[in-house]
A and B are shown apart, each in its own frame.
Chain A
């Protein structure tokens, strides 16, 4: 469950990108947020992903007001949220496998749990050929897949995608969509931030659009 209360997304002190956001996103829903480049989409994505602080208003994630959380509580909440960035967000000096399993290692999962999770995911996403490769030697598509694998390996309660389907092959888009629907079924809230001209296979529970500095329901 995510609730945004009187949130303003600002570029700087003088310029507001999105004003007075008041929305409620229930658990297990598939949401789309559309907006042109520079409309504040990525800034909102980062705020929901706890990468940026909220300037004004309140953000409630899984029933907790993020402004009032301690470092430890915040890190516990972080482990429930996964983000897939539009650009490469992988650690270059680690291998593909190390990048994928990093969230599990960091949350002290056992060796067996990690192994099972990797085997399941890798065959589904068809990335077993590149597991030992260096990040620098991957194509953009492969990087995207590795980021996606890293995001869902922990089975997060909230999954945020920033322009993820951009430039993705129709066949892979379908495959990923099935995976997203499976995650949705187990209660994951999925929010996909998209450009306006993006085509989508998925049918969303709610679609929002950033228009005239406001987030409006479509």
Chain B
């Protein structure tokens, strides 16, 4: 690749002003940040909304506590409705407890596990608690009490509002972008350029800046998270959601641009 080739490629794929491309890049950067902040919630909507969760408390009062804990897990593993048993970090439990109790002897704090079941499945708490108590006295499974309704409606509203805002700004930005390109499109058409080539070249240049905006948001958030606190968004369980939303954001931007370009080209003789 030499200078001339890059220059020709620039004319072909980046016919608009640099500011237009940067504007789109920054817009995608900020909207990606909104999505990233909402990833745990989106992950919940996509994968966990209809799954039932319980809390298993295992007190550390017995000498052979570890063995008995393993026995409890073995018992739970026989239940085919249980998907996972995940330990809740001690730091998180202490933080929550400190809000309600002033002095805590950390050794008294039981180990806490989140038990997740398949969609719409429930545990027979009385029966399971009886079994668990027989293995280790004081161990207990509790129904996870979360005010889902309030949590969901607030988040749904914010998410819906930001998506609406995103779509509105996107449409305005892309209409403005294509409007500025109208002369270029007209001329190119007069010089014999095919619609297919025009759509391909212009969207290629546009997508490059779009990727730049989206991926730089994800990379900078990941960098921030890994350097300043323990990761809570870029965790393995959120990866699927992250990939889905990167794909969705790119597709929405791309399809809207193609639609706007096609519409404009159709009006040029």
The digit string for A88-108, where 1 denotes a CB below 8 A from any CB of B, is 010101100010011101111
Q: Which residue of B lies closest to A83 (CB)?
A: B190
Is A200's beta carbon under 8 Å from chain B? no
User: Are the C-beta atoms of A115 and B192 separated by less than 8 Å?
Assistant: no
With a cutoff of 8 Å between Cβ atoms, the chain B residues found around residue A114 in the complex are: 4, 8
A93 CA / B180 CA spacing, docked (Å): 10
Is A65's beta carbon under 8 Å from chain B? no
Known contacts: A50-B269, A53-B269, A93-B17. The answer to whether A78 contacts B191 by CB under 8 A is yes
* Most chain B beta-carbon contacts within 10 A, residue among A76, A78, A115: A78
Secondary structure class of chain B's binding surface, majority of residues: helix
The digit string for A32-50, where 1 denotes a CB below 8 A from any CB of B, is 0000000000000000011
User: Are the C-beta atoms of B187 and A102 separated by less than 8 Å?
Assistant: yes
* Distance of A20 from chain B, by nearest CB (Å): 23
Q: Which residue of A lies closest to B10 (CB)?
A: A98
Q: Which residue of A lies closest to B2 (CB)?
A: A111
Is B194's beta carbon under 8 Å from chain A? yes
A154 CA / B190 CA spacing, docked (Å): 12
User: Are the C-beta atoms of B187 and A91 separated by less than 8 Å?
Assistant: yes
The digit string for B179-219, where 1 denotes a CB below 8 A from any CB of A, is 00001100111111111010000000000000000000000
Interface size of A as a range: 20 to 34
User: Are the C-beta atoms of A78 and B187 separated by less than 8 Å?
Assistant: no
Is A133's beta carbon under 8 Å from chain B? no
Count B-side interface residues using an 8 Å CB cutoff.
Answer: 22
With a cutoff of 8 Å between Cβ atoms, the chain B residues found around residue A185 in the complex are: none
Is B11's beta carbon under 8 Å from chain A? yes
With a cutoff of 8 Å between Cβ atoms, the chain A residues found around residue B183 in the complex are: 91
Is A126's beta carbon under 8 Å from chain B? no
Known contacts: A51-B269, A111-B5, A115-B4. The answer to whether A94 contacts B11 by CB under 8 A is yes
Is B138's beta carbon under 8 Å from chain A? no
User: Are the C-beta atoms of A107 and B17 separated by less than 8 Å?
Assistant: no
Q: Which residue of B lies closest to A72 (CB)?
A: B194
With a cutoff of 8 Å between Cβ atoms, the chain A residues found around residue B191 in the complex are: 78-79, 102-103, 106-107, 154
Known contacts: A94-B15, A101-B11, A111-B5. The answer to whether A106 contacts B188 by CB under 8 A is yes
Q: From B15, B187, B192, B195, give the contact of A79 (CB < 8 A).
A: B192
A44 CA / B126 CA spacing, docked (Å): 91
Q: From B11, B17, B189, B190, give the contact of A105 (CB < 8 A).
A: B11
Q: From B5, B187, B192, give the contact of A76 (CB < 8 A).
A: B192
With a cutoff of 8 Å between Cβ atoms, the chain B residues found around residue A91 in the complex are: 15, 183-184, 187
* Distance of B14 from chain A, by nearest CB (Å): 11
User: Are the C-beta atoms of B11 and A75 separated by less than 8 Å?
Assistant: no
Q: Which residue of A lies closest to B196 (CB)?
A: A72
Is B238's beta carbon under 8 Å from chain A? no
Give 22 CB contacts A-B under 8 Å.
A50-B269, A53-B269, A72-B194, A72-B195, A76-B192, A78-B189, A78-B190, A78-B191, A78-B192, A79-B192, A93-B16, A93-B17, A98-B11, A101-B8, A101-B11, A102-B191, A105-B12, A106-B188, A107-B191, A108-B197, A111-B5, A114-B4
Contacts beyond the supplied A103-B192, A105-B12: 8 A-B pairs with Cβ under 8 Å: A49-B190, A75-B189, A77-B192, A80-B192, A94-B11, A107-B192, A114-B8, A154-B191
